[in-house]
């Protein structure tokens, strides 16, 4: 049986979603974030990087969401339910599967870091300077970049229901974490197609079962 090492409020939620979509049996080993929001040291006993998700299957230890989703599709999607339907969809699938962590998530992580510079645990005497620095970087660089990416994604979803065409694929599952974070932290108004996509995700029975299994999933705003 597959084992998912699941950290609350983390990228591993999308692995649970994928497993539910595939109707695969699995067990969960649960970990809680520490007060500093980092993963507990116990995860390093499973994988040297100490991150989640990590999946165990048939003696293999798998890390990195995109690699795990590719593995699940190649190994268990025997009916091809979540594979792209044609050559153009394959190109879209590959792009969004890698774009999620390669282009979008670094900006969202930077947004979180620079938003936090004026808050604890930054020492009290440095918060004013840190806050000013954080706001400056966001205004000059991060916010315009996130705006560009958000409009690009919204325009893509204006022409199709899902990222790789008319059917859900692993690309949608991979994009779920950064898009939920973008809506929570980006501060960007009028993204109707991303918002509609999010509603379609949340209406899926497999998503709802994954939430029941993994626990509440709400990315705090910046």
Contact between residue 143 and residue 161 where contact means Cβ atoms under 8 Å apart: no
The candidate with the shortest Cα–Cα distance to 215, out of 72, 52, 23, 44, is 52
Output the pLDDT for position 36.
72
Identify the H or E element spanning 27.
strand 26-31
Contact between residue 52 and residue 43 where contact means Cβ atoms under 8 Å apart: yes
Percent of the chain clearing pLDDT 70 (strictly above): 88
What residue has token string 């991979």? 174
Does residue 176 register a pLDDT over 90? yes
Does residue 29 register a pLDDT over 70? yes
Output the pLDDT for position 127.
62
Does residue 131 register a pLDDT over 80? no
Q: How many residues does the chain have?
A: 222
Looking at per-residue pLDDT, the higher value among 64 and 35 belongs to 64
pLDDT tens-digit profile of 79-103?
888 888 888 999 999 999 999 999 9
Average pLDDT score, the chain = 88
Looking at per-residue pLDDT, the higher value among 112 and 201 belongs to 201
Output the pLDDT for position 35.
76
Does residue 170 register a pLDDT over 60? yes
Stretch 168-174: mean pLDDT: 96
Output the pLDDT for position 219.
73
- Distance, in Å, from the CA atom of 200 to the CA atom of 172, rounded to the nearest integer, reads 11
- Distance, in Å, from the CA atom of 63 to the CA atom of 1, rounded to the nearest integer, reads 17
């Amino acid at each position: 049986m597959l084992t998912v090492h699941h950290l609350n409020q983390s990228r591993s939620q999308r692995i649970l979603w994928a497993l539910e979509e595939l109707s695969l049996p699995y067990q969960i080993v649960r970990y809680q974030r520490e007060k500093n929001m980092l993963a507990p040291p116990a995860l390093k006993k499973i994988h040297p990087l100490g991150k989640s998700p990590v999946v165990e299957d048939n003696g293999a230890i798998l890390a990195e969401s995109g690699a795990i989703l590719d593995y699940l599709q190649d190994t268990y999607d025997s009916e091809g339910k979540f594979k792209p339907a044609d050559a153009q969809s394959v190109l879209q699938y590959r792009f969004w599967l890698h774009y999620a962590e390669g282009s979008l998530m670094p900006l969202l992580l930077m947004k979180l870091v620079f938003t936090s510079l004026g808050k604890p645990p930054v020492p009290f005497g440095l918060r004013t300077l840190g806050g000013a620095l954080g706001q400056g970087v966001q205004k000059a660089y991060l916010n315009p970049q996130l705006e560009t990416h958000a409009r690009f994604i919204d325009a893509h979803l204006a022409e199709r229901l899902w990222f790789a065409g008319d059917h859900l694929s692993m690309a949608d599952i991979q994009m779920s974490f950064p898009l939920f974070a973008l809506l929570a932290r980006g501060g960007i108004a009028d993204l109707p197609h991303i918002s509609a996509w999010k509603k379609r995700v949340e209406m899926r029975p497999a998503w709802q079962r994954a939430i029941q299994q993994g626990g509440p999933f709400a990315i705090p705003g910046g």
